[in-house]
Amino acid sequence: MEEKQWIGMGLAIMGALFWGLSGTSVQFLESAKYLNVEWLLEVRLLVAGILTIMIAYMQDGKRIFDIFKNAKDFGKLLIFGILGIALAQYTYFRAIAISGVGIATVLQYVAPTMIIIYLFLRYFKKPSIAEFSCVILALIGTVCIVSQEGLDISAINGEALFWGLVSAASICVYTLQPIELLKKYGTTSIVGFAMFICGILSLAMFQQIDSEAIWDGMTWVGLFTIIILGTVVSFNAYIEGVRRIGAIQGSILSSLEPISAALFGCALLGNEFTLVGIFGMFCIIATVFIIAWDRQRQLKRDVLEKLNKEEIA
């Protein structure tokens, strides 16, 4: 497999793992430090957005502001920020409030299936057998992992289903929509401006100024994990990974997030890890190897086709 593909897979996996660690940190701060989640969302996006923009400025200088000179591209940035990052987080939290984190997580990971359907309807791009198999394995694995902490099927009502599926659709937006912008302006600046816009929207929506938290060293460690690793690093890594390996395979690899959350929860918070959860973990890990094999197969096929064309010419 080409180095670009390995790097892309590694970045997507890194993003998923840090998202899982971030989720564990949110659970810790909410339960042990009584942190206001709305305040956390505001600060997380604003601070992460500003830091990411600063990194982009150090990399590319004033060129990062070129997007504001193009009204069409700026409109695409707003779509990425509002209908992608912001809506995905808001609807996910809404689904959790209605049906619990287990149902919300399972509904969220319908996203790879939605991406496959969209690409087929829009570009007539059929998924490979490997990609389709990975989607099924990832969904089964996610259900198994979240079942450890209780998966109350009776909690699925019309409202929970609506918010969960909107959350999945929003993941599709921030996976597919910014690809052209990333190629034109770079990953860091696009993600940074989108986060900053989301932070302003969150502040306007929730208007939570008081954190209501118990502030000590562990609170700061948790915030560092959520803002730096779970937002700045994870979003940039995942989006860049998708740019390199494609939306379907990137979204499948993002399903490593529940594994990461379960493992970190077990190690740091004492959460239980059952045999059902272990089976789910192996289902999701299997998708990584299947994707790697599929990418290798596709690359070999492309090389052979190129050689055949050269011989005919």
HEC letters along 4-32 = HHHHHHHHHHHHHHHHHHHHHHHHHHHHH
Quote the pLDDT of residue 14. Answer: 92
Tens digits of residue pLDDT in 107-161: 777 888 888 888 888 888 888 888 888 888 888 888 787 776 555 555 567 787 8
pTM of the predicted protein model = 0.77
The domain segmentation of the chain, as residue ranges, is 3-312
pLDDT, mean of residues 222-230:
90
Report yes or no: 26 and 37 within 8 Å, Cβ to Cβ.
yes
Cβ(134)–Cβ(84) under 8 Å? no
Please give the average per-residue pLDDT across 283-298, as a whole number.
Answer: 83
CB 83 within 8 A of CB 176: no
Which parts of 211-274 fold into alpha helices (H)?
217-224, 234-245, 247-253, 257-269
Nearest to 106 by CA among 97, 117, 122, 95: 95
73 contact partners, CB below 8 Å, separation of at least 6: 67, 181, 184, 185
Integer Cα distance of 96 and 98 in angstroms: 5
Q: What is the pLDDT of residues 231-255, one digit of tens each?
A: 899 888 988 888 888 888 888 888 8
Q: What are phi and psi of 184, to 5 degrees?
A: -85, -40
Question: Which has more confidence, 229 or 98?
Answer: 229
**How much is the pLDDT for 52?**
93
Q: What pLDDT, in 10s, does the model give residues 35-68?
A: 887 888 889 899 999 999 999 999 889 999 999 9
> Crossing angle of helices 158-176/111-123, nearest 10°?
60
SS3 215: coil
Residues 21, 225 contacting (CB under 8 angstroms)? yes
The token pair that represents 306 in the structure block = 């190129």
What is the separation, in whole angstroms, between the first and last Cα of the chain? Answer: 27
- Least trusted range by pLDDT, from 100-104, 108-112, 271-275: 100-104
Looking at beta carbons, which pairs linking 90-93 to residues 24 or more positions away fall under 8 Å? 90/202, 90/205, 91/163, 91/164, 91/166, 91/167, 91/170, 92/163, 92/167, 93/37, 93/41
C-beta of residue 126 within 8 angstroms of C-beta of residue 120? yes
Determine the pLDDT at residue 192.
Answer: 92
The region that residue 212 occupies, defined by phi over 0 for left and psi between -120 and 50 for alpha, beta otherwise, is left
